[in-house]
Structure 1
Amino acid sequence: MQPNPAPIRPDFKSKLSRRYITVSMKFWISHALAIGWMIFSIYLSLPWLADLSSIVSLPVAVFIIGGIAYVPGYMNAFLVVSLLFDRQPAFKNESPSDPVALLIAAYNEEGGIFNTLEYVANQDYNGKLHIFVINNNSTDNTVKEVKRAKIGLDLNITILHEAKPGKFHALNKGLQRVMTPYVITLDADTLLHPSAVRLLVSRIKTSPSNVSAVAGSMLVRNSRESIWTRIQEWDYFLGITSIKRLQGLYQGTLVAQGAFSLYKTDCVREVQGWPDAIGEDIVLTWRLLHNGWKVYSEPLAVAFTDAPATLSHFAKQRSRWARGMIEGLNEIKPWNQPQLYTKYLTGVNFVMPYLDFVYTFCWIPGLILAFFGHFWIVGPMTLLVLPLTMISYGLLYIYQKHYVFKNLNLRVRKNRSGFILFIICYQMIMSPVSVWGYLQELFKVKRVWK
């Protein structure tokens, strides 16, 4: 997916039905159909349940099949129906001019921070951008590169220094200097589409007053670097995007990711800024939701990031994400969230360790057994999850290509090998990595941000 340097004016006129359906109706209709699908799958799985029960007992069989088929099938069905209902409201003002602060925490980023700032300089945003680059103990030429960008790109950049290690310390240092109503966080290796800031601000200006943050849309820039980045390209393009859209529909995007998101400055200050957590953006978002505010996402506000190019780097990143989710759950329980939708959405995260555990310790061994003709755990019945998965990805592909990429003058790169491996192998890597992250948090292993 190649960034296009030309600013755009997207066409927001929807060709879809204009019949209004409340968010509450969408929520309950999606639930009803998803539960119906799960009941149907339970009925079809009775012979499978009986066979597995004869080997491991009925409770254990329900535990295993529930984690492999029942719960994932329900979740996929809920996702598919919800995506069919999703309609992004048109912007009230496509060219806002509110002043915005932009925070970039930088630790040894000399290789790419000038390029990041160059894309900031090319934004088609009409308002003033005040950029704070917070140097967090860099030992390379990061500061020198920022100074070069400040002069060469004619940007309003303030360089700050934070001696305490940790991204949350750097961001909070920058927050102290912010004087604007909105603040954007941007990773030092992330490139912005020329209209990204404008569209992000347009979304929060269009949203109700109780929306505290809007998450941007992240895509992979370096998908040609390795097979791992090829696979992750589809995860960002289809998987992560679909979850963001689902959560945004129900007004509770669970992660306004630090890589590129916009926040109301007063809201961030009211929850005491970014917390001391390895998933500082996750916990911050959950604190905002816990205060009764809503968090949206904007699919058209696109940024391009470098995905981990090796399995080791990938495992470290995703285990951090899993660990950050547990940090959020430890601080704010789903039942303590004030809104029904966020209770449900955070509650889904409460179930994820169970699903990852079953996939890692039951499904993968079951797949190995299936190769030897033993279909006790993995067999023909498990294939019933695939149609819903393909339908959801198909809907996302159509949406991304025709609504997002077409409006942004982007093209979808051909990446068949990455897609095939994403469908077949990705979860077999993700679940064990996530389990490792859960265990790290359980045993309080030393936190490492990179």
Structure 2
Amino acid sequence: MLLSVLEVIVGLSNVILGVLLLFHVRSALRATIGPCSQEPAQGNVAIMIPFFNEPHDTLIDALNAIEQQDYLGRIEIILVDDGSTNDTSVHVRRWLAQRRHWRYHLEVLERNGGRKGKALDIAMGLVSRMAEVVTVIDSDTLLAPSALQRAMDVLLQDERNVACCGLIIPMQRQGNLVEKLQYYEHTGFLLAVKHAQSKIGKVAVIAGAFSLHRTWALKELGGWGQWLVEDVAWTWKALANGYRIVYAEDAIAYTVCPSSFTQLFRQRRRWARGKVEAVVAAWQTSRWQSVLLMPWTLLWGQISFLPCLLIAPALAWVPGSSGLAVMVTLNVGLMIVLYLLAHKRDPNHRRVARGARISAALKATACNLLFDVINIPANLLGVVDGVCNRPKAWLTRLPHGAGNSASSPNDADAST
């Protein structure tokens, strides 16, 4: 009985991975025809940056990166100090006192709201009527100079697109084991999944570290304050309303990720609870659309709770498991191929030799499989938190001291 259940789960996961692979092949064939011409976007953009006890130099670096944006339209930046107990706002005011290219507004809250979504809702009330697009970035995220322009170009390609996210790359790619594992996660399998999802306008998560939303969609669907993991839940609510959400793979942002297993555990526990919030938000919006989103839930569930690295050792000891062994092997093979495609699309690796690319794909796949096993306890506890409706706690925030932003360790991307 157990083998049959595992075969169904892994088999469905293989079908989903196969469909994603087909979208990659289709995209590659279309790319040979040449890109379609499009005028660069020039709409007015509002950037919202909530922060909580962020070190002032980290936030100033993020603001300097915004100053260097080569965007053709107008940008306004709303900074919300979410009840910080350090002196970051003082340093921000000094920075703002100098002549700046874009328009800035700093709002200081007396008390911390406990969740990033609440600070974003306050910032939304300060956005000017002229803003056509609202962008959310984390206070420890650095945008590449062309990031905003490229993301806007993708978002405005289709009137049905209501949101877009960029490529999030962890800064600490050469750090410790935790940091390296996250780098492979964000630049490998997740990149491949998002690219395929974007082709049908069904990107399942727009990363809170760098995401764009049409202003009218935010006003229609509402903000983020009711959720613990606001980016995932808002995304699923938008998808359940039938809107398109896309991905700009050339819009690059560099961000800080957890650097210890303790921080990682807390982040992934919160993300897993966010998945429960997202499913509920979608179900309450449209049951039919929720059913159409179930493949992404299934894929996340298989990766989060039954990764192939966990299943494989048992196959040698269980009689009659040859069919499951084939499915597991196929699952890993599909992940390797998807990573190869993602690695080729990564701007940092497009000119890497084929042999080095294959070696990197094998290494990254092994790291991702190991990472999936490491995250199982946090995923399980997060789902229990959501199902039992336990009190919402940010988990990665600290009430005092520097080093923790309103999303730190960062909300880079809550998986598929």
Q: TM-score normalized by structure 2?
A: 0.81
Work out whether 1:374 is the aligned partner of 2:314. Answer: no
> Which residue of the other structure, out of 49, 60, 79, is the alignment partner of 1:114?
60
Q: Is 1:430 the counterpart of 2:375 in the alignment?
A: yes
Question: Partner of 2:114 in structure 1?
Answer: 165
CA contact (8 A) 2:66 2:143 kept: yes
Q: What corresponds to 2:42 in structure 1?
A: 97
Name which of 66, 74, 86 aligns with 1:128.
74
**CA deviation map 1:59-105 (0-9, x unaligned):** 322112333x31222222122112111257645123x3322110001
Residues 416/330 of structure 1: CA separation in 2 closer, same or farther (3 Å cut): closer
Shift of the 420–78 alpha-carbon distance from structure 1 to 2, 3 Å rule, reads closer
Q: Which residue of the partner structure matches residue 311 of structure 1?
A: 261
Partner of 2:405: none
Code of the aligned partner of 1:295: I
Task: Report the secondary structure of 1:206's partner residue.
Answer: coil
In angstroms, what is the RMSD of aligned CA positions? 2.9
Change in 2 beyond 3 A, CA 1:63/1:415: closer
Consecutive unaligned residues in structure 2, runs of 5 or more: 352-356, 397-416
* 1:260 aligned residue (204, 210, 213): 210
Q: How many residues align?
A: 375
1:75 matched to 2:22: no
Residue type at the aligned position of 1:73: N
8 Å contact kept, 1:356–1:431: no
Identity of aligned residues (%): 20
Q: In the superposition, relative to structure 1, how do residues 124 and 71 fare at CA in structure 2: closer, same or farther (>3 Å)?
A: same
Structure 1 residues 334 and 383 mapped into 2: Cα distance closer, same or farther (>3 Å)? farther
Q: Which residue of 2 aligns with 1:65?
A: 7
| Amino acid corresponding to residue 379 of structure 2 in structure 1 | S
Q: Tell which deviates more after alignment, 286-295 or 350-359.
A: 350-359
User: Which residue among 121, 140, 144 is the counterpart of 1:189?
Assistant: 140
CA separation of 1:415 and 1:390: change in aligned 2, threshold 3 A: closer
- Residue 416 of structure 1 deviates from its aligned partner by 8.8
State the alpha-carbon separation in 2 of the partners of residues 405 and 334 from structure 1.
42
Q: 1:220 aligns with which of 170, 179, 183?
A: 170
Partners of 1:266 and 1:337 in 2: CA distance: 24
1:199 aligned residue: 150
Aligned-partner Cα distance in 1 for 2:285–2:299: 16
TM-score by length of 1: 0.76
Q: Rate the CA distance shift 1:338–1:320 in 2: closer, same or farther, 3 A.
A: same
Is the 2:305–2:380 Cα contact (8 Å) retained in structure 1?
A: no
Structure 2 distance, partners of 1:436, 1:356, is: 15
Equivalent residues in 2 for 1:6-405 (5 A)?
59-67=1-9, 69-86=10-27, 90=36, 92-94=38-40, 96-111=41-56, 112-152=58-98, 154=100, 155-162=102-109, 163=111, 164-179=113-128, 180-207=131-158, 209-333=159-283, 336=286, 343-344=291-292, 346-352=293-299, 355=302, 359=306, 364=310, 367=312, 369=314, 374-376=317-319, 380-381=325-326, 382-401=328-347
Contact 1:121 1:153 in 2 (8 A): no
For residues 55 and 313 of structure 2, the distance between their equivalents in structure 1, rounded to whole angstroms, comes to 46
8 Å contact kept, 1:356–1:434? no
Q: What corresponds to 2:399 in structure 1?
A: none
Question: Which amino acid is the alignment partner of residue 236 of structure 2?
Answer: W
Once the two structures are superposed, residues 241-290 of structure 1 have per-residue CA deviations (whole angstroms, 9 ceiling, x without a partner) of 11211211111222222211111111101112114111111121222223
**Residue 153 of structure 1: CA displacement?**
6.4
- Structure 1 residue 356 displacement after superposition: 5.3
Q: Which amino acid aligns with 2:154?
A: R
Q: Structure 1: which 5+ residue stretches go unaligned?
A: 1-58, 407-411
Whether the 8 Å CA contact 1:219–1:303 is kept in 2: the answer is: yes
After the TM superposition, which of the residue ranges 168-177 and 351-360 deviates more from structure 2?
A: 351-360
Q: Which deviates more, 118-127 or 326-335?
A: 326-335
- If you compute each CA radius of gyration, which structure gives the higher value, 1 or 2? 1
Post-superposition offset of 1:175: 0.6
Query: How far 1:161 moved relative to its partner?
Result: 2.5
Moved more, 281-290 or 152-161: 152-161
Per-residue deviation, 1:196: 0.5
